[in-house]
Amino acid sequence: DAGVIQSPRHEVTEMGQEVTLRCKPISGHNSLFWYRQTMMRGLELLIYFNNNVPIDDSGMPEDRFSAKMPNASFSTLKIQPSEPRDSAVYFCASSPGTATNEKLFFGSGTQLSVL
């Protein structure tokens, strides 16, 4: 299995532009998570899906952020408009079960820089 695949690996954009991050979870996994990692705040859970349904988006910073999972093999995290404080590494992770007492499989992340 190729693991969790995220694209792009690096994204540099200007303030005000729309940014879309993509994630392909491991086939057969039921849960998908979006995390953001910064030096100041560490790893923060933004949103997670179970069987393609958003379960908890309380970690999404504000309305500029949105996430979708149209099917079991694809998810997107969109920021519109982007701001410099959104600069971070964004990780997607998937899990085989419905509870995170199982193992999370992380992608390699997307390094986002907003100028």
Partner 1 sequence: AQSVTQLDSQVPVFEEAPVELRCNYSSSVSVYLFWYVQYPNQGLQLLLKYLSGSTLVKGINGFEAEFNKSQTSFHLRKPSVHISDTAEYFCAVTKFGNEKLTFGTGTRLTIIP
Give, as ranges, the residues between 71 and 110 that touch partner 1 (CB under 8 A).
91, 93, 98-101, 103-104, 106-109
Least CB distance to partner 1 at residue 16 (A): 28
23 near 34, Cβ under 8 Å?
yes
Taking the least distance from each CB to partner 1, the nearer of 22 and 81 is 22
For 17-60, give the DSSP string.
--EEEEEEPPTT--EEEEEEEETTTEEEEEEEEETTEEEE-TT-
Positions touching partner 1 (CB under 8 A) are 4, 31, 33, 42-43, 45, 48, 50, 55-56, 91, 93, 98-101, 103-104, 106-109
